[in-house]
Amino acid sequence: MDADIIVIGGGAAGLMAAYGAAGKATVILLEKMPRPGRKIMITGKGRCNFTNVKNWNDFAPHIRTNQGFMRASFRNLTPEKLIDFFKKEGLDSVVERGDRAYPATYKASDIVDALHNAASKAGASILAGKQVRCVKGLEDESGYSVNCADGTEYTCRKLIIATGGLSYPGTGSTGDGYSWAEDLGHTVRECFPALTAIVPEGYKNLIASRVSENGTPLRLPQGTLHGHIDREIPLSDWGKSLCGCSLKNVEASIYAGQDLIQSEFGDLDFTDGGIEGPIGFKLSRSCVKGIVNGNRIRLVIDLKPAVPANELAARIKSLENLPPKVLLQKLLPTELIAGFTDSNSKIFKGKGLDFPALAKALKGWELNIEGFVGYERCVVTAGGVSTDEIIQKTMESRVCPGLYICGELLDVDCDTGGYNLHCAFASGLLAGQSAAKSLTNQTR
């Protein structure tokens, strides 16, 4: 055997798994990119919101699938323990609004360096530029073989797969681990982008994007999800008028047909991708899932949630002698007016405003959602390896003894706010510790 334990993937889960296993066993980590932690480097716009300091009861509701599965991992590595881990590596933390923890330096690279150093000091061998092609169980069932693109082959007694999902493929997350898990007998639940931009109808110049320079229709790449709209597609004129607008303290709701699916209160942003921001991301999972399943999705924004409809109507009526532009400036941020009025033409009556229609539009600005930005810029992948086939107290496979799966590969995804990264760290540490412990138990 080349190692007791091999970890495939040098992201948050993989580096923490290597740290958890090292010192108790010989550990090799294989990372296909030139340097581990590429995806961590871009989290939180480079500032790295690495955990959320809520207790389990408050943390759990932010896990969107299979909450109970993460309980054991969380208790093994609480946010306080994770903060202490980084402190021991010389990296202090700060906690900001929403219980979000960041490195005090606000540099994601410092998180990566701390993880890399901790795993290396513990004894793990971290090999970069090692792209794994396939994994197989050894014929004598004593472990696993791992074949790399450069022709090298490694064998191990225990294998940890922590390759991440499909989001941000440029960082190395290209979904390799899903196919290996399936080849080894695991079920992979349908994957789709989560925490991504959702795109209102007419926001992007889709007509121009659907034909090539010579006017022939473009074909979507094989495997493209229904509703995927590439972030690089240019904005329409209406999209340009809204891009850069930020809405504070609004209520936004997602409907499939007439059925209310989800409502959130807070802030949202119009960007070059579509609708993002804290509540835009929270709503995106339900929105994407609905579109992928063929539903017509509407986003309804209450721009004045703190004001009852009758009070808003009375306030508008008291302003009816003002010129329309001045009246709208008293009700809306100036940068939002053009985009809002362009999509609510019914608020105009001749050369003036239809005041009841305006009040209704402010309380219920309806936007049909045409699609979503895909894996190229989503924060996390929803779906993945079924948690029914993983032992939650160890992260070991129920299907393949000696195989451990952790991190974004699992069918676990969370809201934005440090929850996803914490789950990756926690499940990775538990996988590494459990794999090493199982070796100790076997030798007794």
Place of tokens 């996803």: 420
Rounded CA separation 11/359 (Å): 49
**What six digits make up the tokens of 190?**
């349908």
| SS3 at position 19 | helix
What does the pLDDT read at residue 212?
45
Mean pLDDT, residues 298-318: 96
The model's pLDDT over 341-380, given as tens digits with 9 standing for 90+, comes to 999 999 998 878 999 999 999 999 999 999 999 999 999 9
Rounded CA separation 343/238 (Å): 8
Listed in sequence order, the DSSP H helices in 204-347 are: 206-209, 237-242, 277-292, 309-318, 324-331, 334-342
Is the model's pLDDT at 222 over the cut of 50? Answer: no
- Residue extents of the structural domains in the chain: 3-191+383-443, 196-377
Rounded CA separation 270/240 (Å): 9
What one-character DSSP code corresponds to residue 293?
T
Top pLDDT among 216 and 82 is at: 82
What does the pLDDT read at residue 218?
45
The model's pLDDT over 17-39, given as tens digits with 9 standing for 90+, comes to 999 999 989 999 999 999 999 99
Enter the CATH code of domain 3-191+383-443. Answer: 3.50.50.60
- CB count within 10 Å of CB 375 equals 21
Q: What region does 46 belong to: left with phi over 0, alpha with psi -120 to 50, or beta?
A: left
Give the rounded distance of the alpha carbon of 357 from its chain centre.
37
Kindly tell me the burial class for residue 307, based on how many C-beta atoms sit within 10 Å of its own C-beta (0-12, 13-18, 19 or more). Answer: middle
Distances 18 to 49, 154, 442 between C-alpha atoms, Å? 22, 16, 20
Residues in a beta bridge with 94? 102
What does the pLDDT read at residue 223?
54
Rounded CA separation 420/40 (Å): 11
**Best CA proximity match to 166, nearest among 114, 207, 224, 95:** 224
CB of 420 within 8 A of CB of 43? no
For all residues of the chain together, what is the average pLDDT?
Answer: 94
Q: Kind and range of the H or E element at 73?
A: helix 71-76
Is the model's pLDDT at 219 over the cut of 70? Answer: no
CB of 429 within 8 A of CB of 436? no
Q: Show Cβ contacts of residue 153 under 8 Å, excluding neighbours closer than 6 positions.
A: 145, 146, 147
What does the pLDDT read at residue 1?
79
The model's pLDDT over 175-195, given as tens digits with 9 standing for 90+, comes to 999 999 999 999 999 999 999
Q: What are the two backbone dihedrals, phi and then psi, of residue 438, each rounded to the nearest 5 degrees?
A: -65, -35
Handedness of CA 431, 73, 420, 175 (dihedral sign): positive
Q: What are the two backbone dihedrals, phi and then psi, of residue 378, each rounded to the nearest 5 degrees?
A: -80, 155
CB of 156 within 8 A of CB of 3? yes
